[in-house]
Structure 1
Amino acid sequence: MKITKILITGGVVFIAVVLLAGFGCKKVDTTTTGAANQEAVELEYWRLWDDSTAFDDIISEYEGSHPNIKINYHKMTVDEYENEVVTKLAAGEGPDVFSIHNTWVPRYIDKISTMPDEGLVSYITVKSGCKTTTQKTQSQQMTVQEYEDTFPDVAQTDFLGTTKDESAVSKNVILGIPLSIDTLALYYNKELFNSASIAKPPATWVDFQNYVQDLTRKDIYGDLKISGAAIGTAENINRAVDIMYLLMLQTGTKMVNDEKTEAVFDKPVQDASGESIPTGLNALQFYTEFANPKKVVETWNPKQDYSIDAFAKGTTAMMFNYSYKIAELETKAPNLIYDIAPVPQPTDITAKVNYANYWGEVVAKNSDHQVEAWDFLQFLAKKESQKKYLDATGRPAAHKDLIEEQLSDPVLGVFAKQTLSAKSWYQADNAGIENDFIKMIEDVVYNRATLEESIHNAATTVSELMKND
C-alpha cells in the first residue's frame, strides 16, 4: 500500500511539474541582447588628460549592451601622444577611436573617417514561449540635424565636414564628437580689485584698459611692482596667441579666405558703411600696447614672471585662461582669493564672441571596426553619457542640454555662458601658426618690425603653411 501511494504521489508531482513547465513556456516573452553570430571586437581608445575612471561607467554600460565589443582605454602623456598617434596610424596600426584638438582637424582630415550612413548591425536573442530565436537589428545613425541640435555652433564649424556621395552630390558629414568645450575666461584677484576700489570685473575692453591703469603699481624706479593684467607679450604669457585670436575674432577680422588657401587677417575688412577697417592690425596694436612703456596702459613686459605664476603669487591682478587651469591654480596658491568672469567684449559689438579650446573624439580611417567605433561614439554623444563624463571630470559641457544645466554652477557657470557664442578658426597647421603669431607679437614688443610689417609677415608665413597643407 505504501509503495503504491508513493508511486501515485510521485506521478502526480511529475505531471504537475511538466504541466507547470509547459504553461511557464507560454508565459515567457523576453528579449535579451546577445552576441549571436557576431565576432568579438576590441576597440582601442586613446586619449589625453583623463584617467580611465572618467570612462569606467560609460564603457561598462556600453559593453553591457554590446557583449561582443570590448573597449581598451589608454591615457597617454602629452609628450608622446600625437607622435604615437601619427606614427601608428601611418603604419596601419594604432587606435580605433582617439581624440584630436579642434584645431587639428585640417591636419587629420585624411586620417579620420566620417560617420557611416548605416548603423551597427547587431543580433538580439528573443525568447518567446519555449522558442528562442536570433533577430538582426540595426542602430540608428545620428543625423547632421541632430548633431546641430545637440552641439554648439563652434562644434558644427570644427567637426562637421562636407563630402560627395556616389552621384558627386555634396553632403554634410559628422567628423567627431566633443565631450566638453572650454572657453577663454578672465581670472581676477579679488583682493587687488578691492584695494583699488573696483567692485566688479570689466565687461568691456574699455573697462579693462581703465582697470589696468587703476591696478598697476610701479616702484620709484618705474619698474612694475603689481601688474594690472598679464597681456601684451607672448613668451611669458600662457595661451597668449589665444588672446590674440580672441581679439581678432571679436573685431570681425577675417582670418583666412573662403577657399581656405590664404591667410587674410592682415587685410582690412569693410564695415556696414563700406569703410575699410584694419581690424587685424588694430587688434595687434591693442594687445601689444599693454607691453609698451610709452603707453598709459603699460602693465606687462618680458621680464615678468610666467603669467600663471605671477597670478598665483598675487603680482598680477588679471589673467586670461581656461577652466582646466583651476586645478593648477588651486595647487600653486590654495589661499589665493580670486574669481572668474567672462572675457571683456568690444563696446560696439552686436553679438558676443568668445574663443573655444576643446577636443573631439574621432574614428581612425584605417580602423577595421569603423562601424563599431562610430556606434560607440554615438553612445558617447548621448546626454546621459556626457553627464557621466562631466560628473567625473568637472569640465564645461558640450551638450546643449547640459550647458543649460551648468549655467547656475558657481564655478563652471562662467564657461557655460560663453560656450554658445564661442568661435574658432581654420588652422592648417596649428603649431606652426602659433609660432608665427608669437613671432608677430614679439617683433612688435622688441621693436624688430612695425605693426604693419609684423602682421603682414605673419600672414605671409601662415599662407605658406596653408599651401603646404
Structure 2
Amino acid sequence: MFCKHHKFKLITMMLIAIFFLTSGFGCKQGNMDAVNDLKKPIILKYWRVFDSSDSFDDIISSYNQSHPNVNIEYRKLRYDEYEKELLEAWAEDRGPDIFAIHNTWIGKYARKILAMPETVKLPYVVSRNKKTKDIEKADYQQVKMLSPMDIRNNFAETIYQDVVRDSQIFGLPLSLDSLALFYNRTMLDNAQIIKVPSTWVEIKEAAKKLTLQNDTGEIVQAGIALGTNNNINRYSDILNLLMMQNGTLMTDETGSRATFNQPSPYAVDKSYRPGQEALRFYTDFAMPSKEVYSWNETMPEASEAFVAARLAMMLGYSYQLPLIRTRGIKLNIGIAEAPHINADGTDALGSKINFASYWIETVAKKTAHPDYAWNFLMFAADKEHVIKYLQKTKKPTALRSLIETQLEDADIKPFADQVLTAQSWYRGNDGQATENIFGEMIDAILKGKNTAEEAMRYAVERINQTF
C-alpha cells in the first residue's frame, strides 16, 4: 500500500515538473530563444518622399514596445531624385528594405517587390519590468497577415484594384487622396455666385462670370485652371477624371491595353466617343475662341495663381492645402468635392466617380528581413496606428473605418467624402510616360496639330507600347 502511494506521488511530481518545464512557468523570461532574438539588432531602411520622419515617430515608438530590437532608419528623399536613388542603391545592394511608390508605379516596380506573405513568425515582448522596463518575458508569435479579401473589406475599392495582383498583395496605403475643388470665397461672392459649383455645367457658368480680361484680351483674373498641360500641376489627373466621369473605358477588361479612344458600348449613339468629348471639354477652357475661355499657357502655375488671387477655382489634392494656406494667408479659401456631371452627384453611367492618387508602402525583394518589414507595414497601416500618422500629416484616410472620424475636420471632409468613390486605372509599366503622352495630346489640340480623334488615337497607340 505504501509503495503504491509513494509511486503515485512520484509520478504526480514528475508530471508537474514536466508541465512547468514545457509550459514556460519554470522560466521567468518565457522562451529564451525569443529573448535572445530580441537582443539581435534588426535595421530596416525605410525610404519615402514628402513626409518628414516625425510623421512616423509615434508609430515606430509603438512598434518598438513589442519589437525593441528593430531600428527603423527613415529617409526622406526629394521627389525628383527618388527613383534614380532607388535603382542605384539596389544595384549596389544598399537599397531600402521598405519603400513607397505611387499607385501608378506598381507595374514598373513589380519585379522589385516582395509580395506580402500569408504569415510571419517573430519574437515579441510579452511583459516588462515596471521599474527597469527590462524584458521579463518574451515569446514567438505566428502573425496572420492580410488577405486580398481583407484589403477589399478594409480599404477603399480602388486600393484592392491596384495592390492585389495574381492574388498577392504588393503593398499597403497609409492614406488616399483625391481631386477636389479649391475656390476663393471672396471672388465667388463678388461675382454673385451664391452656390459653390457642383456640376460641370455650373463650373462652365461660374468660369464665365469669374474670368476677367483687360482691353488687350489678357486674362487678369482666371475663372478656373483647366485646358493646358504646362501650368496645371496634375493636368493628366484632371483630364482622366473628366474622361472616367463621362463613361470612358480607359482600358479593356483585362487591363492589358488602353481603349480610351473607343466608342462607348453603353451610349445610345454607338459612335459616341466619351474620351474625345472629355478632351474637347477640357481644352475648350484654354481656347480664346470658346465661350468658357478662362486659362492659357502664359498664366502662372495654377497653385501660384490661386495664392496670388489671380485664380478663382482650381482642382487639387489635400497635400496642396498646407502650402496654399501658408502662402495665401489672407485668402478666404473654400474646399468642395470635385464637380460631377449630374445634379445628384452622379456621372454618365449612373455612379459617382472621383479620381484617386496615393502612395503605396511596400517591401523590397532584396530585403534581408522580409518578415519584420511586412509586419511593420501591417502594423503601421492598422487603424489604431495609422490614425496618428493621418493626424500629423492632415491626410485623408484609405481605411473605410476612419472615414466618419475625418468628416469632423472641415479641411479633410471633402476628401474623406470621396474615398469610397475614388478610382484610378492601370497606366502600363511607365505611368510617367503615360502622363507625358496625355500632355502631348492636350498640346496637339491647343496648337491645332490634330483633331481630338487623331490625338487620342496616337496617344492610345503609344501608351499601349508600355503595357
Could you say whether these structures have the same fold, taking a TM-score greater than 0.5 normalized by the shorter chain as the test? yes
Per-residue CA deviation, residues 74-95 of structure 1 (Å, 9 max, x unaligned), is 1112232111112222344311
Choose the corresponding residue for 1:145, options 144, 149, 157: 149
Aligned counterparts of 1:220 and 1:113: Cα–Cα separation in 2:
61
Does the CA contact (< 8 Å) of 2:199 and 2:339 recur in 1?
yes
Check 1:206–1:120 CA distance in 2 against 1; reply closer, same or farther (3 A cut): same
Choose the corresponding residue for 1:282, options 277, 295, 302: 277
Counterpart AA for 1:292: M
Aligned counterparts of 1:40 and 1:221: Cα–Cα separation in 2:
69
User: Comparing 219-228 with 307-316, which one deviates more in the overlay?
Assistant: 219-228
User: Comparing 326-335 with 409-418, which one deviates more in the overlay?
Assistant: 326-335
> Counterparts in 2 of 1:422-461, with a 5 A limit?
422-428=422-428, 429-461=430-462
- Aligned residue for 2:94? 93
Deviation at 1:454, TM superposition (A): 1.1
Q: Which has the larger radius of gyration?
A: 1
TM-score by length of 1: 0.86
Deviation at 1:124, TM superposition (A): 5.8
Choose the corresponding residue for 2:213, options 203, 214, 218: 218
Secondary structure of 2:358's match? strand
Aligned counterparts of 1:133 and 1:47: Cα–Cα separation in 2:
35
Deviation at 1:276, TM superposition (A): 4.0
- Aligned residue for 2:383? 383
Secondary structure of 1:119's match? strand
- Aligned residue for 2:367? 367
Deviation at 1:110, TM superposition (A): 0.7
- Aligned residue for 1:238? 233
Aligned counterparts of 2:124 and 2:318: Cα–Cα separation in 1:
43
- Aligned residue for 2:58? 57
- Aligned residue for 1:22? none
1:180 corresponds to 2:165: no
1:400 corresponds to 2:400: yes
Check 1:54–1:31 CA distance in 2 against 1; reply closer, same or farther (3 A cut): farther
User: Comparing 413-422 with 343-352, which one deviates more in the overlay?
Assistant: 343-352
Counterpart AA for 1:87: E
- Aligned residue for 2:21? none
Secondary structure of 1:107's match? helix
Counterpart AA for 1:377: L
User: Comparing 379-388 with 135-144, which one deviates more in the overlay?
Assistant: 135-144
Check 1:315–1:32 CA distance in 2 against 1; reply closer, same or farther (3 A cut): farther
Q: Which runs of 4+ in 1 moved over 6 A?
A: 26-33
Q: How many residues are aligned here?
A: 428
Does the CA contact (< 8 Å) of 1:311 and 1:319 recur in 2?
yes
1:194 corresponds to 2:185: no
Does the CA contact (< 8 Å) of 1:355 and 1:422 recur in 2?
yes
- Aligned residue for 1:155? 159
Does the CA contact (< 8 Å) of 2:28 and 2:137 recur in 1?
no
Check 1:462–1:282 CA distance in 2 against 1; reply closer, same or farther (3 A cut): same
Check 1:134–1:441 CA distance in 2 against 1; reply closer, same or farther (3 A cut): closer
> Counterparts in 2 of 1:336-347, with a 5 A limit?
336-347=331-342
Aligned counterparts of 1:383 and 1:216: Cα–Cα separation in 2:
44
Aligned counterparts of 1:204 and 1:133: Cα–Cα separation in 2:
61
> Counterparts in 2 of 1:166-177, with a 5 A limit?
172-177=167-172
Does the CA contact (< 8 Å) of 1:232 and 1:289 recur in 2?
yes
User: Comparing 85-94 with 280-289, which one deviates more in the overlay?
Assistant: 85-94
Deviation at 1:254, TM superposition (A): 1.2
- Aligned residue for 1:419? 419
Per-residue CA deviation, residues 285-335 of structure 1 (Å, 9 max, x unaligned), is 110111122211111111222211111111221111111111221232210
Per-residue CA deviation, residues 381-425 of structure 1 (Å, 9 max, x unaligned), is 211111111122111111211122111211100100011100001
Does the CA contact (< 8 Å) of 1:37 and 1:123 recur in 2?
no
Check 1:291–1:142 CA distance in 2 against 1; reply closer, same or farther (3 A cut): same
Check 1:126–1:295 CA distance in 2 against 1; reply closer, same or farther (3 A cut): closer
TM-score by length of 2: 0.87
Choose the corresponding residue for 2:298, options 300, 303, 307: 303
Check 1:222–1:272 CA distance in 2 against 1; reply closer, same or farther (3 A cut): closer
Per-residue CA deviation, residues 143-170 of structure 1 (Å, 9 max, x unaligned), is 22222222101111111111xxxxxxxx
Counterpart AA for 2:423: K
CA RMSD of aligned residues (A): 2.3
- Aligned residue for 2:6? none
Counterpart AA for 2:164: L
Does the CA contact (< 8 Å) of 1:36 and 1:125 recur in 2?
no
Deviation at 1:116, TM superposition (A): 0.7
Does the CA contact (< 8 Å) of 1:31 and 1:126 recur in 2?
no
Aligned counterparts of 1:286 and 1:188: Cα–Cα separation in 2:
20
Gaps of 5+ in 1: 1-25, 163-171
Check 1:37–1:300 CA distance in 2 against 1; reply closer, same or farther (3 A cut): closer
Secondary structure of 1:465's match? coil
- Aligned residue for 1:66? 67
Does the CA contact (< 8 Å) of 1:36 and 1:123 recur in 2?
no
Deviation at 1:188, TM superposition (A): 0.7
Does the CA contact (< 8 Å) of 1:241 and 1:437 recur in 2?
yes
1:228 corresponds to 2:223: yes
Does the CA contact (< 8 Å) of 1:183 and 1:323 recur in 2?
yes
Does the CA contact (< 8 Å) of 2:151 and 2:159 recur in 1?
no
Aligned counterparts of 2:81 and 2:71: Cα–Cα separation in 1:
24
Secondary structure of 2:176's match? strand
Aligned counterparts of 1:423 and 1:143: Cα–Cα separation in 2:
21
Aligned counterparts of 2:229 and 2:141: Cα–Cα separation in 1:
55
